[in-house]
A and B are shown apart, each in its own frame.
Chain A
Amino acid sequence: MDPSWPLVIEGWLFALVLVIFVLGLFRRQAGDAVAGWVTLAGLVGLSIAVWNAEPGRVALEGTFVLDELSLFGKRLFMVASVLSVLATQAMTHASFRRRGTEYYVAFLASLLGMLVLASARDLIVLFVAFELMSIPLYFLTGFLKGEKAAPEGAMKFFLVGSISSAVVLYGLSFVYGAAGTTDMSAIPALMATVNPLVLLGLALMLGGLGFKIAAVPFHMWVPDTYEAANTPFVAWISIAPKTAGFLAIFRLYVEGVGEGAVLWVPIVSVLAGVTIVSGNLMAIPQSNIKRLLAYSGVAHIGYLLLGLAAMSVSGVGMVLFYLVAYLFGNMGAFFVVQAVAASEGSDEIEKYQGLARRSPVLALSLLLFLLSLGGIPFMAGFWAKLFIFWAVVEQGMYWLAFLGAVLTVVALYYYLVVARRMYIEASTNPAPIPVPVVLMVAIGGCVAGILLMGVYPEPWARAFMRVAMTLFSTS
């Protein structure tokens, strides 16, 4: 089957879900590792298919498209999922031994939601895909149900997520009421007429999506969820659903809208500024590294919104660049956290004392990830931030660029605090930290990603700009 046909990849993924599900019925005792390897093999195969897909085709009367943007999304979801499954294979928790297949079924179901969402050009399809993506996430957050924090984190995530879904749906109903159709291509024309009902609907949807991408003030579920869930999964939800949220935002507010998108600049700018400032400031006092990364992740969402606030080809293109850079940096950091937590039994930053002496490679990897997240030259994150600032300056929004640039210094402070633990302070325990091979591969992949993008950003930036151009040229 040619993957360039829409729904082919989704069909294969659905088949994979069924395979894992059936596998779980038959291998209740040792289902974990086998299910993981089957999932991994399936995802690698699907990744190859996604990479070979050509954009341009449409299915289901225009509600499902396979264009440049959706391919970007699908590829990113695939990379994130492969990395996350690799790291999950290193999990030794009892829940994984007993119920591993359940985990992978839910994981792949959520991924299916993301893949559909990337292609959705219809409000109903978009919403259903969002739910398909989100509901397994609530379950997965509470997967380690023996742990004390898990039910709390899962419950918070579930409540906030459901409310935000309701808000999105409410907004959607306004848009439908005004447009008389659920086809998204009707939105630009309505936006141009400044129809108050549509604007109210879109504003409500932006709020709902704000919950999904965890922009301030809709972010409070993030740290608790991250702390509760197992780390490979956290690494994955720190990027994949957020990317899905941004894809939805691009579809709703940017695609085909052209000049009219300027309408959203003030609200998005404010959201971006508030998110950057509060995310960074709240990260400072954290003593748990997963919470620190959670708040720093909120700040990164702010930078992504900054790129969106530019509402230009380069702005959107650079958001895509940022997403990929963030994927490698953030997932990599979480994988190192996973390795340290497996050995030390805790996510406290104190446990990183003297890591550079104990496990130099692990410490260096984490340092590289943190520097990339902090935006230091020769790492992917540097170009990501630079490109975002460039896009913002291009629109004459100097103050936003200043704000963003100055707050990166705050971010570097808390990243350097971790670096200080690792490099400057001496450790009480000299034993090296064991790292399973699968996890090492995942970490190595992330290091390669940030360095490749950091040393030679040109082809990546070009490719993402091309994707962004399609959003603006369809009008």
Chain B
Amino acid sequence: MTGWPVLSILAWAPFASALLIMGLGRSRPGFVRWTALLGTSVSMACALWLYANYDLAAAGFQFYEELPLVPSMGISYQLAIDGMSLVMVLLTAIIILAGVFASWTVKTRDQEFYALLLLLVTGVFGVFVSLDLFVFFLFYEIAVLPMYLLIGIWGSSGEVRPQGLFGWAFGRTGVGTKEYAAMKLTLYLLFGSAFILVGMLALYVAAGSTSFSLLALEAVEFDPGLQSWVFLAFYIGFGILAAIFPFHTWSPDGHASAPTAVSMLHAGVLMKLGAYGVVRLGMGLLPEATQQWAWLVGTIACINIVYGALSAMAQKDLKYVIAYSSVSHMGIVMLGAATLTESGLNGAVFQMFAHGIMTGLFFALVGLVYEKAHSRDIFSMGGFATMMPGIAVAFTIGGLSSLGLPATAGFVAEFLTFLGAWSSAHSWWLFPAVIGAFLTSLYVLRVVRAIFWGPKSTDPHFQNLPDAQGTEWVAIVILVGALVLFGVLPGLALTPIDVSTVPLLMRLGVL
């Protein structure tokens, strides 16, 4: 199979199926779903093939493809992956495959829904595989924009409205409605991309306006003053997507309002894209600024961990709990990266993967619970385990991984990150991180108990609810399987991660 542009096939297969769906899928729901499944399966097959054929001994960027786009500006369609992007590609493929199954029951305007979802996935794959900063940015925009329509049209408005002072302040903005959430999310992310764009252009011009290629820019030693502000621009730009405090508020609103598959993809993969951007562009291109600003990144990450966990504890809406837990867990990712240690950075990347699967699973299950019980209010539901044992078990496994129980993927990630935090220059970072993990176990176990294992609710709406059915099982099995597999055998992901983080840290001069 060598000689095939596997990375392009991986990225564009969903796009091709989106085109097919738009062209031929009008009022043919079966065709729409099977085409979507076909496209994402091709991507999955490509991802697995890449994983199997990535040469760990050689490391570095492999499966190189290039095609000049705008030669006079030095823009070329340049793709390649290293270990870190390999793992991210695998994550994206898993989540979208599960997402297609999870949205099998979408009824309204399913043709457009699947087409936009697949377009979005093309953007995400593209970001992870592109080496040219400009193409990276283009894919990034493709990944952000369909979100507006996906949430605005197919989302759901929350049941919780702001009260008291907040009710007065936000009363007229429509807080809690899907339209509000969609607009907020889109504007926040575009705001971030404005920063990224200017930072990118600054590097491009400083390097002599000849190439946008990551490899070419890596070879340039930028002026420390320039590095310093460009790093901040990247940090804010990508950090918004990774939900860094205080730019995180779009994420709970957006994730809570989005339809299931979009929440899965967004919380599971897109937020990682932010962290990936910080690591790949920020740390990869600007070594001195990384050293200079590591304290800021790490400290804000600590705030994220604790603040996200505390906010999650205060929520009554199930989707908001999961959404805030993402804010908290993304803090762990950023903290791991800020430690500038091998175990910390490995933990960060592994956490991106583990948290992606975990959140994908959570949102899939929340979607199922909502579809059957038509409620997201944690404390009105109760004792669902007797009616939907499958969902209950899967949710519990996800919860245990979230709080870092050994033998789940979450444990490996948190352990490595904590290790990195302790051995970093700021060892006090360990304490907020551990407090965050403790708070996580509080809110996760509380939710799991209230909804599934606690006393049965007497509400007549919550009687005789069915368990997951048919295609829904497929999504659950894929995600739970991945969560346990990578928890028991973390080396599957850690080995490729390690071969890409070590050169990065060596460039930073800390290894």
What is the interface of chain A, defined by CB distance below 8 A to chain B? 376-378, 386, 389-390, 393-394, 398, 401-402, 405-406, 408-409, 412-413, 416, 419-420, 423-424, 457-458, 461-462
CA distance A83 to B13 in the complex (A): 38
Known: A458-B71, A458-B72. A389 touches B198 (CB 8 A): yes
Complex CA gap A405/B137 in Å reads 14
A-B contact pairs, 18 of them (CB 8 A): A376-B145, A378-B138, A389-B198, A393-B202, A398-B202, A402-B194, A405-B197, A406-B191, A406-B194, A408-B194, A412-B190, A416-B148, A419-B148, A420-B152, A423-B149, A423-B152, A424-B153, A461-B73
| Min distance, Cβ B297 to any Cβ of chain A, angstroms | 21
In the complex the two chains form, is B209's CB within 8 Å of A423's CB?
no
Total residue contacts A-B, CB cutoff 8 A? 70
Closest 4 CB pairs of A and B: A405-B194, A424-B152, A393-B201, A409-B190
Partner of A424, one of B141, B149, B201, B202: B149
Complex contact B142–A413 (CB within 8 A): no
- List 16 additional A-B contacts (Cβ < 8 Å) besides A405-B197, A413-B183: A390-B201, A393-B201, A393-B202, A398-B198, A398-B202, A406-B194, A409-B187, A409-B191, A412-B190, A413-B187, A416-B148, A416-B183, A416-B186, A424-B149, A461-B73, A462-B72
Closest to B123 in A: A377
Assess whether B295 is interfacial by the CB under 8 Å rule.
no
Does B70 count as interface, using CB distance less than 8 angstroms? yes
Q: Which residues in A have their C-beta under 8 angstroms from that of B153?
A: 423-424
Cα(A419)–Cα(B148), bound, Å: 10
Residues of A close to B209: CB separation below 8 A: 394
Cβ of B474 under 8 Å from chain A = no
Q: How far is the CB of A350 from chain B (nearest CB, A)?
A: 15
A405 touches B195 (CB 8 A): yes
A458/B201 in contact, CB under 8 A:
no
CA distance A402 to B73 in the complex (A): 21
Residues 371-408 of B, flagged 1 when their CB comes within 8 A of A and 0 if not, give 00000000000000000000000000000000000000
Majority-rule SS of B interface residues: helix
A389 with B197, Cβ < 8 A, contacts A458-B71, A458-B72, A461-B72 known: yes
Contact A386 B197, CB 8 Å, known A393-B205, A409-B190, A413-B187: yes
A319–B229 alpha-carbon span in the complex (Å): 27
Whole-angstrom distance between the Cβ of B182 and the nearest chain A Cβ = 8
Let me know if B288 is at the binding interface, CB within 8 A: no
**Most A Cβ at <10 Å: residue of B149, B153, B197:** B197
What separation, in Å, do the CA atoms of A413 and B179 have in the docked complex?
Answer: 12
Q: Do residues B198 and A376 form an inter-chain contact, with CB atoms below 8 A?
A: no
- Minimum CB–CB distance from A139 to chain B (whole Å) comes to 42
A419 to B151, CA, bound (A): 13
User: Which residues of chain A have C-beta atoms less than 8 A from B70's C-beta?
Assistant: 457-458, 461
Q: Which residue, of B141, B187, B191, B201, has the highest number of chain A Cβ atoms within 10 A?
A: B201
A222 to B285, CA, bound (A): 46
Name the residue of chain A whose CB is nearest to the CB of B192: A409
CB of B149, distance to nearest CB on chain A (Å): 6
Chain A residue numbers with a CB within 8 Å of B152 are: 420, 423-424
Which residue on B lies nearest to A357, using beta carbons? B109
Asked if B198 and A393 sit within 8 Å, CB to CB, the answer is yes
In the bound complex, CA of A340 to CA of B204 (Å)? 44
A378 to B146, CA, bound (A): 14
A389 and B201: CB pair below 8 A?
yes
A362 to B73, CA, bound (A): 34
Contact A424–B198 (Cβ < 8 Å): no
Complex Cα distance, B186 from A185, in Å, reads: 50
A377 in contact with B202 (CB, 8 Å): no
Q: Is the CB of B205 within 8 A of A390?
A: yes
Q: Which residues of B contact A378 (CB under 8 A)?
A: 138
Shortest Cβ gap from B57 to chain A (Å): 38
Interface centre among A386, A393, A420, A423 (most CB of B within 10 A): A393
Closest chain A residue to B149, Cβ basis: A423
Q: Output the least CB separation between A372 and chain B (Å).
A: 13
Q: A401 to B233: give the CA distance in the assembly, Å.
A: 12
Instruction: Name the residue of chain B whose CB is nearest to the CB of A424.
Output: B152
Residues in B whose Cβ lies below 8 Å from that of A408? 190, 194
Q: Could you say which residues of chain A place their CB within 8 Å of the CB of B205?
A: 390, 393-394
Most chain A CB inside 10 Å of its own CB: which residue of B138, B186, B205, B209: B205
Closest residue of chain B to A407 (Cβ to Cβ) is B194
| Minimum CB distance partner of B186 in chain A | A416
- In the complex, which residues of chain B have a beta carbon less than 8 angstroms from the beta carbon of A390? 201, 204-205
Chain A residues near B190: list those with CB within 8 A.
Answer: 408-409, 412
Contact residue among B71, B187, B202, B204 (Cβ-Cβ distance under 8 Å from A412): B187
Could you tell me if B72 and A409 are in contact, using CB atoms closer than 8 angstroms?
A: no
Instruction: Kindly state the separation between the CA atoms of A457 and B137 in the bound complex, as whole angstroms.
Output: 16
Closest to B189 in A: A409
In contact, A420 and B179 (Cβ under 8 angstroms)? yes
Q: How far is the CB of B111 from chain A (nearest CB, A)?
A: 12
Q: Which residues of B contact A394 (CB under 8 A)?
A: 205, 209
- In whole Å, how far is A407's beta carbon from the nearest beta carbon of chain B? 9
Of residues 175 to 212 in B, which have CB atoms within 8 Å of A's CB atoms? 179, 183, 186-187, 190-191, 194-195, 197-198, 201-202, 204-205, 209
Q: Collect the chain B residues with CB atoms within 8 Å of residue A462's CB.
A: 72
Chain A, residue nearest B206 (CB): A393
Please provide the chain B residues from 108 to 150 with a CB less than 8 Å away from any CB of chain A in the complex. Answer: 137-138, 141-142, 145, 148-149
Q: Mark B204-231, 1 if CB is under 8 A from A, else 0.
A: 1100010000000000000000000100
Most buried by B among A378, A389, A398, A461: A398
Determine the chain A residues whose CB is within 8 A of the CB of B229 once the complex forms. Answer: 398
Contacts of A402 in B (CB 8 A): 194-195, 198
Contact residues in B for A424 (Cβ distance below 8 Å): 149, 152-153, 179
CA distance A74 to B192 in the complex (A): 39
CB neighbours of A377 from chain B (8 A): 137-138, 141-142
Report chain A residues within 8 Å CB of B179: 420, 424
Cα distance A389–B183 when bound, in Å? 25
Question: Nearest-CB distance from B231 to chain A (Å)?
Answer: 14
Give chain A nearest CB distance to B102 CB in angstroms. 22
- Min distance, Cβ A299 to any Cβ of chain B, angstroms: 15
**A49 CB, min distance to chain B CBs, angstroms:** 30
How many Å lie between the Cα of A409 and that of B188 in the bound state? 8
